[in-house]
Amino acid sequence: MSTADAPERAIPTIPGRPPRILLIQAPYYEAVVGGMRRGAEKILTQIGASMDVVDVAGAYELPAALRMAIRRSAEAGTITWDGFLLLGCVVKGETDHYQFICDAVCQGVMDISSETGVPLGFGLLTVENLAQAEARSADDHHNKGGEAVQAVLQQIILARRWGLA
């Protein structure tokens, strides 16, 4: 499926209080990640949700920051955040570095997600060039930040339905 074929999704109705989301972003490609963040913010604003934002140095640091945030929330004894949103971008270069970073980040996030079951939206662009990243962070319904926030909202709905949040 190409970006042009991506479905337009309705914004979900969240039961209960508006959710609080922690966005962990790797703004190495600031314009791209900023575009994805704005896509997510647009949706969150429409449902009255709030979002805290923290930056990490790069995509490689996303899993560790997620684990720290989950640990912080657990140690607080109350729900600090209802869900987590990760945004970043890795552009393929001339070396194997791209593959190592992408594999490590995706595996790290999947391990944490399946281990903890926290509501999570994962928006890591893994692209051949900046033009592809810019197309996926544009202000339209193809915005991958918007898609990732839709995922975390659906997970929050599920967690609330099952009494986990």
Report yes or no: 17 and 48 within 8 Å, Cβ to Cβ.
no
Consult the annotation and say whether 90 binds a ligand: yes
Report whether 122 belongs to an annotated binding site: yes
- Residue 29 annotated as part of some ligand binding site: no
Q: Is 89 annotated as a binding residue?
A: yes
Query: CA 159, CA 155: separation in Å to the nearest integer?
Result: 6
Q: How far is Cα 165 from Cα 153, in angstroms, rounded to an integer?
A: 12
Pick the catalytic residue: 71, 72, 97, 161?
97
Of residues 81, 22, 82, 77, the one with CA closest to residue 55: 22
Q: Is 80 annotated as a binding residue?
A: no
Is residue 141 part of the annotated active site? The answer reads: no
Specify binding-site residues: 28, 59-61, 89-91, 94-95, 122, 136
Q: Which residues are catalytic?
A: 97
Specify binding-site residues for 5-amino-6-(D-ribitylamino)uracil: 28, 59-61, 89-91, 122
